[in-house]
């Protein structure tokens, strides 16, 4: 990662943290980009509660003094801030490079707003440059891979990865994806699949750092 990329991620993280205010319940994403947002949130010293998407995120937030809430004990989540492995201007995403896609998606769909932060290298015209992570129960791993092959994907079990729910991640290469929502539904329909990393129709806003400037998607009029 270049120093410019790192700076752009930090700018996007700070812009996302600026959207928060006291009293909010905030979904906290997982991964290196989301970690920048968590640190930016901590620096603001707001009176919020965080809902973590992984044990790793929970540990970081706790170390920074952000109070945490159990997702099953909150009535709603006001906003979630997370990263993405890639995104399009229509706000389709691939997530799950960090292995937390199941918890990330559960937190996202419970949120009033989902804000994605990224640098410009994550913007693509079509999803598929990054392989689609698929969380599967271990007992079904081979079967799921066979069914994914039937959908046109080569795949492999991610070595050394066990999710917080004790499942495996199968990374599936579909090439460029023409219809992310349809493909996502087909993957989810495979017995043994717990969740997949295509996030379609979930994100509200992407804040992208690009050479020192934060760009918004969808773009506002005149931008």
> Which residue is it, tokens 């918890």?
103
Q: What is the pLDDT of residue 221?
A: 59
Q: What is the pLDDT of residue 185?
A: 98
Of 14, 59, 86, 104, catalytic? 104
195: annotated active-site residue: no
Residue 217 CA to residue 207 CA, distance in Å, equals: 7
> Which domains are present in the chain?
3-124+200-211 (3.40.50.1360), 132-197 (3.30.70.260)
Q: What are the pLDDT digits (tens) for 163-222?
A: 999 999 999 999 999 999 999 999 999 999 999 999 999 999 999 999 999 999 998 655
Low-confidence spans in the chain with pLDDT less than 50:
223
Q: Write down the pTM of the prediction.
A: 0.95
Quote the tokens at residue 211: 């050479």
- Percent of all residues in the chain with a pLDDT value above 70, rounded to a whole number: 98
Q: What is the pLDDT of residue 223?
A: 47
Q: What is the pLDDT of residue 222?
A: 53
- Percent of all residues in the chain with a pLDDT value above 90, rounded to a whole number: 96
150: left (phi over 0), alpha (psi -120 to 50) or beta: alpha
Q: Which long-range contacts (CB under 8 A, 24 or more apart) does 158-162 make?
A: 158/99, 158/133, 161/99
């Amino acid at each position: 990662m270049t120093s410019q990329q790192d700076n752009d991620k930090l700018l996007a993280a700070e812009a996302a943290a600026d959207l928060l205010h006291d009293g909010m319940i905030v979904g906290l994403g997982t991964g290196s980009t989301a970690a920048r947002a968590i640190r930016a949130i901590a620096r603001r010293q707001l009176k919020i509660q965080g809902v973590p998407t992984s044990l790793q995120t929970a540990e970081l937030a706790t170390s920074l003094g952000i109070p945490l809430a159990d997702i099953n004990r909150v009535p709603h989540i006001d906003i979630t801030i997370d990263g993405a492995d890639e995104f399009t201007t229509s706000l389709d995403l691939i997530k799950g490079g960090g292995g937390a896609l199941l918890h990330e998606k559960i937190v996202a769909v419970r949120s009033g707003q989902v804000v994605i932060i990224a640098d410009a290298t994550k913007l693509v015209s079509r999803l598929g440059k990054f392989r689609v992570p698929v969380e599967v129960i271990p007992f079904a791993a081979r079967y799921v891979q066979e069914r994914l092959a039937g959908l046109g994907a080569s795949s492999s079990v991610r070595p050394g990865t066990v999710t917080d729910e004790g499942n495996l991640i199968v990374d599936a290469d579909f090439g460029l994806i023409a219809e992310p929502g349809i493909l996502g539904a087909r993957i989810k329909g495979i017995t043994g699949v717990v969740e997949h990393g295509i996030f379609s129709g979930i994100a509200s806003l992407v804040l992208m750092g690009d050479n020192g400037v934060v760009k918004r998607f969808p773009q506002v009029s005149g931008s």
